[in-house]
Structure 1
C-alpha cells in the first residue's frame, strides 16, 4: 500500500466513526432487534432518541411503557416504515383502548385510526348485524360487546333495546382492514425521520455527541471541518487521479495484449463469478432458491415451532389450520408461504431480523 493510499484510508475510517457507535448500541431482546431510535433502559442515552425507551423482560420479551396507560408487549418494530406493533399482555388490546390509551406523552400515534362505537348487548342476536364487530375478549356468557364504525351508526337502530353504548374510541385499522382485536395495536412515529437512511440500509443515529440532529452513517458524514475537507480534496484527490490514470493506461495495455493473444487468459465461468451482497439483496432470490426453503403445514391442533409466534409478521394474520408456513434456514423465522415468497422475490433479506441471505451459497436440487 502506498503512502497516499494509507492517508486516504485513515481519513475514510475517521469519517465513518458513527458506524462503530451504531454497532455498540445495537442489541437484541429475544428475537426483537433493538436499535436507533429505540434503546433499552440500561443502554447509554445517546443510543436512542428521547422517549423511545424500552425494557427487556426476562431477556425474552420487549416491553414499551406508555405513561398513564401501563405496559405493552412489543410484537415487532418496523424500522423501514417507522411502525411499532404492541399488544396487551392479556391479548385484549381493545380493553386498553376503552380504558383510555393516552399517547400525549409519547412520540407515537395510532396507525390509520378510525372511530368505533362500542355497545354492550344482553342478546346474542345483535351479533348478526353487517359491519358489527363481535369483540370476544370483552364479551361474557350472558352478554356480547359489539363495535360499529362511527360513520355507520345508522346500524344501531337495528340493535335491540337491550344494547347500551359503552364508549366511542379511535381504533387503529391496518391497510388489510379490521383485524382480530387480540392481534394488538399498531403505532407509528414521524420524528426522528430515518426513512431515507433505512431505505439505503444505513445506520440512522445522532450526527454528533450533542444535540438531536440525526444523520446516516452509510457514507461520509459532516463531521469534518471545511479546512479538513479541502485538505482531503487536494491531498488525496490529486494522487487518486494520478493512480486512476495509471490504472486506465495499464488496462488498455492489457486489453491490447488480449487482442493479440486471445488464448492467453481464460474467462471465469459464470458459476464461479463473484456477486455482490448488495446486488443479491436488491434483486431478491430466484424461484428455485425460495422453493428450497423448508415448509410446514399447520395441523388441526395449530401447534407451531415457536408457540409464542402465532401471527405472520408480514400480513399480521394469525396462523390457521391447514395453512402452509415457510422457514428461512439462516435465522429460523417463519411466515405464511405466500407472504414470504413474494417478499423474497424482491428482497434477499429476512423481513423480521433483516439478515441478508446468500443465494449463491445455497445448494438447490
Structure 2
C-alpha cells in the first residue's frame, strides 16, 4: 500500500507543474510580447486563436496583416483591455483609411468609430478653418488636406470633397509621427483571465473554447489518469482517501466557478454600459459652464479640450462630468457620451 501511495502522490504532483504550453507559446518580437490569442506565423497553430496571426520583421518589428488592407506595424498590444495599436509603416494612417480599411474578415473593429469627411482645400482657405484637422502627409505645396467630423462644417464651397470614412475617436493622433489607430476585439474574451494574472489558452486540443489556467495546467495529466487506473486494486482505505480528495476538489471548483461567474457578469454589465453610452437626458443633466473673457478655469493647466485638442475660447460652453470633474467642449463631450459612457481622460464610468 505504501508503494502505491508513493506512486500516486508522485503522479499527482507532476500534474500540478506549470503549464508548458504557456512557456512554449509566449515569445517576443523586439520589445513586443506575443502571447495568446496572438501567435507568430512560425508557431504552432494552438498557440493562438484563429485569425490572430502576426509576423516578426527583422526580429524587431511586429506586423499585423489585414486581408484587404495590407500590412500594419504593431505599436502595442493591450491584452487586459483587448486593444491593439497599429500604425502605417509610412506614418500616414489617413491615407490607408481613405484607401479603405476593411476589417470584415478579421476579429477586429475600430475603437469608438466616428464619421469624418476629408476635403482638399487651397492652402489659404484651410488655415481659416478652426475645426479642420490638417493632414500633413496628404497635403502638398499649394493645397491642404483636412478632415472634419460629419455635420460640423460645410466646406463644399471652399474645398473639394474627397471621401467620408469611419475613423476612431482618437483620430487626432495622426498629427504625431509614430502614432496610429486603435483596434479592439471581443472574441476570445480573456479580460477576466488577464485581470487574474492567469494564462488564457484553449481548454482542449481541438475545440475553440478558452479558459484560464492561472499558471497551472487544466485538469489531470495523462500520467495521473494512468496512476488512478493503476491503483484500482489497492485496499479500500486508499480508495476511500482518493474519493474524499476528489470530492473536496469538486467542492472547491464549484465554489470558485460560482464566484468567477458572478464577477464575469459584473464586468459584462460594466462593459455593456460603456459600449452603449448615455441617453440625451442624462447628458443634459451634466453641468455646463460659460467661459468668461478671462478664460480662467479651475484647473489652470487644462486649457485644451482633450477630444478636439482646441484651446478653450471666451464665451464657449464647457460641460463637466460630475464624477471625475473633467470638463470638455459641450459639443465634443455630448457626441462622445452618446457613444461611450466613460470619461475620455480617466475612463471612469458613471
Q: TM bucket by the smaller chain?
A: 0.5 to 0.7
**Secondary structure of residue in 2 paired with 1:137:** helix
Partner of 1:148: 148
Q: Is the partner of 1:179 in helix, strand or coil?
A: helix
Q: Does 1:180 align with 2:181?
A: no
How many angstroms apart in 1 are the aligned matches of 2:240 and 2:130?
69
User: Normalising by structure 2, what TM-score?
Assistant: 0.59
Q: How far did residue 236 of structure 1 move?
A: 8.2
1:79 CA displacement: 0.6
Residue 16 of structure 2 corresponds to residue 22 of structure 1: no
Q: Distance in 1 between matches of 2:82 and 2:240?
A: 37
Q: Give the distance between the partners of 2:166 and 2:9, measured in 1 at CA.
A: 56
Say if 1:233 and 1:207 are closer, same or farther in 2 by CA, change over 3 A: farther
Q: Is 2:193 the partner of 1:197?
A: yes
Report the 3-state secondary structure (helix = DSSP H, G, I; strand = E; otherwise coil) of the residue aligned with 1:178. helix
Q: Would the alpha carbon gap of residues 215 and 9 (structure 1) be closer, same or farther in structure 2, given more than 3 Å must change?
A: farther
CA RMSD of aligned residues (A): 3.2
Cα distance in 1 for residues equivalent to 2:6 and 2:167: 58
What's the CA shift string for 1:236-288, capped at 9, x where partnerless? 8569x9xxxxxxxxxxxxxxxxxxxxxxxxxxxxxxxxxxxxxxxxxxxxxxx
Match of 2:209 in 1: 213
2:242 aligned to 235, 254, 279, which one?
A: 235
> How far off its partner does 1:151 sit?
3.3
Query: After superposition, what is the alpha-carbon deviation per residue over 1:272-315, rounded to whole angstroms, capped at 9, x for unaligned?
Result: xxxxxxxxxxxxxxxxxxxxxxxxxxxxxxxxxxxxxxxxxxx9
How far 1:128 moved relative to its partner?
Answer: 3.1
* CA distance 1:208–1:120, change in 2 (3 Å): same
* Corresponding residue SS for 1:187: strand
Partners of 1:178 and 1:21 in 2: CA distance:
40
**Distance across 1 between alignment mates of 2:239 and 2:10:** 11
Q: CA distance change for structure 1 residues 116 and 44 in 2, over 3 Å: closer, same or farther? A: same
Q: Which runs of 5+ in 1 are unaligned?
A: 242-314, 316-365
Give the match's secondary structure for 1:91: coil
The whole-number CA distance in structure 2 between the counterparts of 1:9 and 1:82 is: 39
Residue 313 of structure 2 corresponds to none
Matches within 5 A, 1:104-119: 104-119=104-119
CA distance in 2, matches of 1:71, 1:22: 27
Change (3 A) 1:63 1:238: closer
Distance in 2, matches of 1:44 and 1:151, equals 49
So what's the TM-score if we normalise by structure 1? 0.57
Alpha-carbon distance in structure 1 between the residues aligned to 2:206 and 2:120: 53
Alignment partner of 1:47 is 2:41: no
**Where in structure 2 are there 5+ consecutive unaligned residues?**
229-237, 249-305, 307-350
Provide the C-alpha distance between the structure 1 equivalents of 2:79 and 2:174, rounded to a whole number of angstroms. 24
Query: 1: CA distance between counterparts of 2:59 and 2:67?
Result: 23
Give the number of aligned pairs: 232
- 1:329-355: CA deviation from partner (whole Å, max 9, x where unpaired): xxxxxxxxxxxxxxxxxxxxxxxxxxx
Tell me if the contact between 2:113 and 2:168 (Cα under 8 Å) persists in the aligned partners: yes
Q: Is the CA contact (8 Å cut-off) linking 1:207 and 1:213 kept in structure 2?
A: yes
Please list, as runs of the form range in 1=range in 2, the aligned pairs for 1:327-346 lying within 5 A after superposition.
Answer: none
Given the superposition, is the C-alpha separation of residues 70 and 220 from structure 1 closer, same or farther in structure 2, using an over 3 Å criterion?
closer
> How far apart, CA to CA, are the structure 2 residues paired with 1:238 and 1:173?
54
The structural deviation recorded for 1:39 is: 0.6
In structure 2, relative to structure 1, the CA distance for the partners of 1:98 and 1:26 (3 Å cut) is same
